[in-house]
Amino acid sequence: MRNSLEPKPQRSAALLVVVLLILLAGLLQWVYFTHAATAPGAGLTALAQAELPRSGVTNPVTAVLLNYRALDTLLELSVLLTAMLGIWSLGPATPGYQQAGAVFAGLAAWVVPLLILSGGYLLWIGAKAPGGAFQAGALLAAAGVIQRLGGDPRASLPNESAQRWLAIAGIGIFALVGLATLVAGRGFLDYPLAWAGWLILLIETFATLTIATLLTAAYVGGQPPPSQTTATPGMHRMQAPDRKA
């Protein structure tokens, strides 16, 4: 009387899955083409464009993300936080790579400041052109990834306690702005028009820091090593033997 919890996947089952997937893809294609040929939906682009003057920004994408559907964005940031907390719960990070050689270190010294600068630019320009917190945060996180590849076990992030505050800053400010508008007698995240642009910039600035921290921490891949891990010699033997010069 054993429960077979782990049934072996069978060939016939795999074949069945493939057949079903092909049928599903066929159905979707058929529906899409019959539908697209007869009655394409208008979408909400026109409406989003028409309401732009009331949103505080002139880039429709930013208006959707930070104003019309700000709650989605607040929850998306929480999804990123959940991912990082889940990664941390699985154990400490691996020590990281050995210290980079002269060429990589030189490259990093060029690229990292450029990434930070472009991140700041994308954050600012997001109000009127493509850009914004997610793009800026991703660039900053790329800088962190380069630092980690170059041998920094913490990828330039501060100690664990500061990382925790950075990880919640964007979500916290977002929620606080929402609560402030609620207390002021408007709805949750219902910005007064005069302040909307600045409030969105405030939220986006902190969201950038949070996104960068969360993505970099996810790349580090575990709870940060305790402070004072200034490249002990033992660490160099752990990873990436193929990169040895």
CA distance 245 to 205: 40
Residues in contact with another protein, counted by CB under 8 A, come to a total of: 58
In sequence order, what are the residues at sequence separation of 6 or more whose Cβ sits closer than 8 angstroms to the Cβ of residue 214? 80, 81, 83, 84, 167
Would you say 57 or 81 has its CB closer to another protein? 81
CA distance 145 to 108: 10
Does 51 interact with another protein (rule: CB under 8 A)?
A: yes
Does 231 interact with another protein (rule: CB under 8 A)?
A: no
The distance of closest approach from Cβ of residue 161 to another protein in the complex, given in angstroms and rounded to an integer, is 8
Answer for which of 104, 121, 125, 164 binds another protein (CB under 8 A) is: 164
Stretch that binds another protein, among 30-38, 117-125, 149-157, 197-205 (CB under 8 A): 30-38
Could you tell me the sign of the dihedral formed by the alpha carbons of 234, 166, 134, 105, in that order?
negative
Does 83 interact with another protein (rule: CB under 8 A)?
A: yes
CA distance 160 to 18: 46
CA distances from 227 to 114, 154, 169 (A): 27, 9, 21
Residue tagged 């916290």 (tokens):
172
Answer for which of 21, 22, 75, 105 binds another protein (CB under 8 A) is: 75
Residues that bind another protein (CB under 8 A): 1-3, 5-7, 27-28, 31-32, 34-36, 38-44, 47-48, 51, 67-72, 74-76, 78-79, 81-83, 85-86, 88-90, 164-165, 167-168, 171-172, 175, 178-179, 182, 186-191
